[in-house]
Amino acid sequence: MSRLPRTIVTYAAPLLVLAGCQGLNERQQAWLREGEQAYREKRYNVAIERLSLLVNELKNNPEAARAYYVRGMAYAMAGQRSRAYADLAQATREARDPDIATRAEAALGVLYFEDENWSAAARALARATDKMPAEPPLDALLYRLGLCYERLGRWSDAQVVHRRIVETLPQAPYAASAARRLALKAHHFAVQCDVFSQPQLARRRVEELEAKGLSAYTRPEVRNGKTYHVVLVGQYRTYADAKAALARVRGYVPDAVLWP
């Protein structure tokens, strides 16, 4: 089973019942219905089997994109990642229905994000979010797009995306997280080791970490209207460097996390 079924279902615009089966004979329509029903019931291997029958017969038919999309989602949920990538990419190329193309792009973006292919994820998510209505899950996909830009070192582009969430979807689930990243105005990564409400406790923690040879410092941050003092280690331009530093720092601070 895939390690990200919930992520894909949440972010990648899960299948809705789509109208029309134009150009399909009765047998092909049955395969499509059965494949989509099996997908909704989480019987992914059955969905793959029924939709494969349809895909193998369709030639230059717009319904092929729909079948590729659903089968790609089923492959992703079943943990067959390379086949999921192939089907979703095929769906984006063949789709005449813009809804199917957008859903496939969103799913590709999520898969690339989970595989830490930030460039490919950013391209797919940018294409998907450019065409989506201003309602969830647009905020979730935009938030991931912003994270991609941060991890590519494109900090100003990330701010633009987070501002779009705050301004167009202020009540959406990811609006608060986007607003926090806007307020931070970050332009590098660091390792967060602790958070204190009292500055003297933060300074004491910095001294402890410095004694271990870590380049620690404090940064004030406003959270829920209250100022806190965040203890950080290092300033890293790339996400890869920050992750490597996190592994080292956790030898001293097991619950350290990446910042921002």
pLDDT tens profile 58-108: 876 777 999 999 999 999 999 999 999 999 999 999 898 898 999 999 999
200-211 average pLDDT score: 97
pLDDT for 13 equals 42
Instruction: Yes or no: say if 72 and 91 are a contact pair by the CB < 8 Å rule.
Output: yes
Tell me how far apart the alpha carbons of residues 122 and 260 are, in angstroms, rounded to a whole number.
19
Cβ-based burial of 83 (10 A; exposed 0-12, middle 13-18, buried ≥19) = middle
Q: How many CA atoms lie within 13 A of 229 on its CB side?
A: 14
- What pLDDT does residue 63 have? 77
pTM for the whole structure: 0.89
Q: Which CATH number fits domain 189-259: 3.30.70.1070, 3.90.1150.10, 3.40.50.300, 3.30.70.3400?
A: 3.30.70.1070
Asked if pLDDT for residue 247 goes beyond 70, the answer is yes
Distance between CA atoms of residues 174 and 136, nearest Å: 9
Q: pLDDT tens, 157-204?
A: 999 999 999 999 999 999 999 999 999 999 999 999 999 999 999 999
Q: pLDDT digit string (tens) for 121-167? A: 999 999 999 989 999 999 999 999 999 999 999 999 999 999 999 99
The pair of three-digit structure tokens given for residue 85, joined into one six-digit string: 């990538």
At the topology level of CATH, where does 5-122 sit? 1.25.40
Indicate the helix (H) or strand (E) that contains 191. strand 189-196
- Whole-number pLDDT of residue 22: 65
**Mean of the per-residue pLDDT values of the chain:** 91
pLDDT in tens, 219-246: 999 988 899 999 999 999 899 999 999 9
The predicted structure's pLDDT at residue 153 = 93
Task: Tell me how far apart the alpha carbons of residues 118 and 103 are, in angstroms, rounded to a whole number.
Answer: 19
Residue 19 pLDDT more than 60? no
Please provide residue 101's backbone torsions phi and psi, each rounded to the nearest 5 degrees. -60, -40
257-259 and 189-196 strand pairing: antiparallel
Residue written as token pair 């989480």: 42
